[in-house]
Structure formats: C-alpha cells, structure tokens
Chain A
C-alpha cells in the first residue's frame, strides 16, 4: 500500500514552473529516493508534502485521504536549510519543537530522555545551541525530527555536516526506523547512499519527473549487456577469436595480462562469447558491468535535457 500519492502536481511561480505535472507514489515502509539536479523542483515538492505551500493544481493523498492539517503530526521533516535558535538551551528548544509537533509535555520529556541517553548527549541539555559544534547541532536536529515517531519521514541531505562515524550512526537509525514501520523520503545528491539505502527512486529534472520505480528494476532496465573480462594470453588472439556481434569498448594490457570491456549485440550471451574465445586465451574473470545510480542519474538527466532542447528547437 502507498503511504503517499501525489497526482499531477503543478506549481508555478511568477517567472518559472517549479513542478510540471509530477506524479509519484511512495510505498509504505520503504526508503524512497527523491533525486534530481539542483533547482529541479525537489524542494518545491517536499514543501507541498509538508503543507508549507500548496500546489496550483493536482492533489496529494496521505494514506488515501487528501492531505490536511491533521497529517502534520505524522510527518517529520529535516530540511536541507536547517538550524536552531542559537541562544536557546538545547533541552528547552527540543521540548518546544516537539510540542509544536503535537506531543504532550510528558511524552516529549520521556522521549527526549530516551534519545538523549541513546546518543549520549544528556550533558548538552542545559547548553546553549551556539555552544555546540555543527555535528552536535545536527544530531539534536535529527532527534527533534524523528521524536514524534512520524509515519513519514522526509530527510533532505541528512548526512551533511556529519563525520563518517556519526553518519553511520544516523544511517543505522534510519534503517531501524524503517524496520519499525516508518516510510522515508530521502533526498540527496550522494548516489552512493542512494544505492545503499533506497528501495525506490524518482528522478526529477527541470520540474518534470523523468524516471521512477524500484531501484532493482531501474538498474535492470539500464543494463547495457556489457561485460568485463580479464584473461591471460594474446590480446590480438582474443579479438580475432570474437565474431561479429561483439563490440570491444575498452582494452588494456600489462605483459600478457589483459582486461577488456565487451558489449554483446544481437542474441549473443556471455556463454557464446566465452565459447568463441576459450581456445585462444586463459580466462581469469568475467563479470557484468552494472550501471551505477550515478551513471543512471547522469545519463537520464543529460538525455532529458537534450530531448527538451531539441523539442524546443522544433517548436521554434
């Protein structure tokens, strides 16, 4: 079941369109990557989900009902542009933000106590925010975001400002929240963490959604039938043994140890390739070259940009 569906969202500002007919659906209890270059419209979409702004047309459904004020208590939002009142004490501030999300005084106290203990930051309670380091402030901010146990958690670049150890701590926390049933919208430019964490993604470019779906399916769809082969023997012998239907993309040689990338064409399989070259060389390894999210991101964004560009030319 989808926890959140956005249907045909359009959002226009005075001189540009931020979102142009964007639809996404986010399955419950998953991590959903919202990707796109800077200025693509991700923040506009996130603000609409948070009811900070409203769409010009289209609708957002939360668990099947139209988004309304009651849903605020079920959403946690960690914006990319984030901060805290610098002069306020950490504990006082955490209480304030928790209660704005609708927690009672007692609930907020118990939950804050739990999290401050878990992250070993009890001693910060009476400190002013400006006395904390950037990373410590980010921790406080993270706790405040998840404190009210939201069903939907929207994290915009959650790892910025963290050292690798704390980034890992937060990553595990996010996975644990998912285990407990939360759904996470995860917006980032770090494709490594997308690959590591996300179950589904949507890619937005120039205010349009250009790609979405299950990460595994997307990767499968983006297979190029390319294989990397390492072998010992004569490179010439290897290439001569290949028939038509194979394209040699890359080659490198060190002594008689060779490494090549071959793209299979037509109905050829890795097996048929091996059969043809086995008599000539000694195979050391063969593996499929799977496109990384990074490659998928770049190729899709470039393609959609050039398509838009050419359409633009045609209509002129």
Chain B
C-alpha cells in the first residue's frame, strides 16, 4: 500500500471513529427530519372545536355558515347587548356580530374570551366573506358557475431560445432552490472541513510528531493525504445525512402519518415552507403533477455532477490554503491574521450568490462563476438558469488550474512552516518561504 493511501486511511478512520462525528451524523438528520415534521405535526394537533355565537342582524347568514371540524356556529335569538352580557355565562368561545347593513359596511365585529388563532379568525372571515360574495353575485345576476369558469390561473413556461433555435426550459423554482441549496452546502462544507484540515496540521505541529512523519514521507504527501482523507470524511457525513434523512422521513411518515399525510404531502409541505417569497399560497402552490414536471425540467444529472465537481474542487482549492495556514502557526489562536484573506472570498461568494439568484445573466454573475475562488458557489446558483456549456467547461478548467495553483503555493509554505517552532511568522516571511529550495 502506498504511503499516501496509509495517510488517507489514518486521517479518515481517526475522524470517523470519533464520538463527535458519530453524534453529528446521527443528530444532523434527526434535526432535519424534526424540522420537517414539526411543521406537519403542528398543523395536525387536534384543536377543540370553537363554539361561535352569531348575532346576525342582517338575517342573511342563519343556517348558511357550515360547521366544520374546528368551527361550530350557533344562531340563538338574542340581541348583541344580551349576548354580550351573557357571554361569560354561556358556553361560547367567540361572539360574532353581523350588522344589518353588512352589504354596504363590509364589516363585522368579533368578541372573544381568549384571543383566537389567526387561522380561526381567517376561517371565520373567509366563510362570511364568501357568503357575502355569493349574495352579491346573485344580486347582480351573475351565475357563480360561469364566474368560476372564467377565472384563470396562468401558467408561465419560460423558455430560453438558443441561437440555434433550440428551446431550453429554465427558470423554475425547484431548480433554483436546488442550485441555491447546493451552493450553500458547498460553502458550509469548505468552512467546516477546511477548518478541520487546519486543526489537523496544527495538531501535528504542536504534538511534535511532524518531524517523525516527514522523515518517512514527503511533506506534500502528508498534506495531500490529510486533505483527501478529510474530504472523504465530509462526503461520508454528507451521504449519511442524505440517506438517514430520507429514511427517517419516510419511516416516520409511513408509521405515524400514514392516514392523513402520505410522504409526498410531507415533501410538498417542506417545499412550500422553503419557498422564499411570500406570494399568495393559493397561486403559488404547485400540485404534485407540476412538481414532477418541474423536476423533469431541470437537468438533474448535470446539476448533480456539477455539484460533486464544485463540491470537491472548491474544497481542494481552499483546503490546501487552510493547511498552509495551519503549518505557519503554533496554535489555533494565531490563525486569525492569516484566515482573513482566505475567508473573505468565501463569504463574498456566498453574498454574491444571493445577488446572482435575482440576476443570473449579469456580468457579475458571469465573472464570479468563472473565477476559481468564487466559482464553486456562484456557478452552482447559476446552473439551474441554464449556463452555456462552454462557460461551465471554462469555469471547471480554471477551478482545476486554481486548485493546482493553490496546492502548489500552499505546499511550499507548508513544508517550511511545519518545521518552524515558536515563531510568529509575518506575511513577509511566508513570502520568503515560497522561494526556499526544498
């Protein structure tokens, strides 16, 4: 077995066997699944039905308000004054007063003992509002069914027309979300595991094992072994999270929610909760057929392939820089001054990603998805909007050149840095290290 494989193996196994890794791997999906279900669960909690006393002076609504699971309507023969006086002795939760001139005033009054939830208020409001609309339709002689048939929900399918005449469906929400989540994951992954690379290097330096090891292997092998080993840890954790989240979600939804919610509803719920805009839900809610169509519109294999590429490429690019920082210092506390130039482009590309979502064709979006330091995150966000293949290839080639470049640079700092003890280096010194002969 080659030495670098041995190093990768050690870096991987020691981390995967750690309690913190196992806990994180288990807790992560539980949290994710928990978040998904908390939402569904909250809507399922059975509420006591509210008893609603309606004082209807307009005499339009008696018997017209249908009882539902949560709302029970009563129409006692009483006046508002009496009803108010007896409100606390009666069993009613809510008192609704509909004035005689409701048709013109468009206003009702609501009295309660305990503040009712927003949904309850909305439901009452909608019921009365709908009835009122019906009355008005009849009064104006409009057939309700006709009106319904005239109401139109417009579905926009955005197509990008290529010069060649090819059409490409784009600009669909599912794709945008997938791209954005992908970018976010890459961002988190680089930060989390880049820091682990740095800590690993510092550990070897402070425990003074470094000189023992580099008398057996080249510093470059040790550095790459560590970076690759940790990348595999990250991929393992990511994969386990995906698998566990899906498993937990489907198991829980099959056993506990079977009757009321099938798992597709859960997915739909999650999807709804993730839509960033507050557009009216009715118009925005895609039925399941639409979701399927949307997913078909995205070139999923391409996006997935690109995700893995940028995921690894971005990590390798930054990972070696983190290794170089770790090699230059004696303790984690000293890393601050060197962290800045590495974290700034990372944070910047995440900020840029949020702008790119709204304007994916701008020159800024183009340049940041080409420049290697920002491309892993920005390109992921741009991808669902349809990026010409030559741009993707250019960006990928530059990313590969980029990480070869940073690795080469980092390796030079690393091999000198790991043998320097007790000195706080300056940028000037790091610069000199680049030109030391091996």
Contacts and interface: CB of A to CB of B under 8 A. Distances in A.
Given A72-B216, A97-B216, A99-B6, A54 B437 contact: yes
B215 A52 contact: yes
Given A82-B209, A83-B207, A85-B203, A56 B437 contact: yes
B422 to A, nearest CB: 10
Given A97-B216, A99-B1, A81 B6 contact: no
A97 B438 contact: no
Nearest to B432: A14
A13 B436 contact: yes
Contact of B419 (A52, A54, A96): A52
A81 B432 contact: no
Contact of A100 (B14, B217, B421, B437): B217
A308 interface: no
A85 B209 contact: yes
Contacts of A56: 437
A52 B432 contact: no
Given A47-B419, A83-B212, 17 more contacts: A51-B215, A54-B438, A72-B216, A75-B215, A79-B211, A82-B212, A83-B208, A84-B209, A87-B14, A96-B6, A96-B10, A99-B1, A100-B3, A100-B213, A100-B216, A102-B216, A141-B212
Contacts of A180: none
Nearest to A154: B215
Give the bracket for the number of chain A residues in contact with chain B. 20 to 34
B6 A79 contact: no
B303 interface: no
B68 to A, nearest CB: 61
A83 B3 contact: no
A287 interface: no
Interface string A132-168: 0000000001001000000000000000000000000
B215 A81 contact: no
Contacts of B432: 14
List the 7 closest pairs (A to B, CB-CB), nearest first. Answer: A83-B208, A79-B211, A100-B216, A77-B215, A83-B207, A50-B215, A81-B208
A67 B14 CA distance: 34
A97 B207 CA distance: 15
Interface in B1-34: 1, 3, 6-7, 10, 14
Interface in A70-102: 72, 75, 77-79, 81-88, 96-97, 99-102
A53 interface: yes
B266 interface: no
Contacts of B215: 50-52, 72, 75, 77, 79
A53 B207 contact: no
Most buried by B among A52, A54, A84, A97: A52
A82 B216 contact: no
A143 B14 CA distance: 22
Interface of B: 1, 3, 6-7, 10, 14, 203-204, 207-209, 211-217, 419, 421, 432, 436-438
A52 B220 CA distance: 11
A128 to B, nearest CB: 11
Interface in A101-119: 101-102
Contacts of A51: 215
Contacts of B7: 100
B3 A81 contact: no
Contacts of A85: 14, 203-204, 207, 209
A75 B212 CA distance: 12
Contacts of B438: 53-54
Nearest to B222: A100
Contacts of B437: 54, 56
Contacts of B214: 52
Contacts of A81: 208, 211, 421
A165 B261 CA distance: 74
A263 to B, nearest CB: 46
A81 B212 CA distance: 9
A86 to B, nearest CB: 6
Nearest to B217: A100
A280 to B, nearest CB: 62
A101 B215 CA distance: 9
A135 B49 CA distance: 75
A82 B211 contact: yes
Nearest to A96: B10
Contacts of B217: 100
A79 B216 contact: no
Nearest to A53: B438
B327 to A, nearest CB: 14
Nearest to A12: B437
B385 to A, nearest CB: 46
Contact of B207 (A13, A50, A84): A84
Contacts of B421: 81
Nearest to B209: A83
A190 to B, nearest CB: 20
Nearest to B14: A88
A50 B215 CA distance: 6
B218 to A, nearest CB: 8
A234 B432 CA distance: 71
B70 to A, nearest CB: 57
Contacts of B203: 85
| Most chain A C-beta atoms within 10 Å of own C-beta, residue among B207, B209, B211, B215 | B215
Most chain B Cβ neighbours within 10 Å, of A51, A54, A85:
A85
A100 B209 contact: no
A84 B437 CA distance: 28
Nearest to B6: A99
A52 B211 contact: yes
Contact of A101 (B14, B207, B209, B216): B216
Contacts of A141: 212
Interface string A215-259: 000000000000000000000000000000000000000000000
B17 to A, nearest CB: 10
Contacts of A79: 208, 211-212, 215
A303 B207 CA distance: 38
A232 B6 CA distance: 73
Contacts of A13: 436
A255 B209 CA distance: 61
A296 B14 CA distance: 50
A54 B203 CA distance: 25
A97 B436 contact: no
Contacts of A99: 1, 6
A7 B10 CA distance: 38
Nearest to B1: A99
B366 to A, nearest CB: 42
Contacts of A50: 215
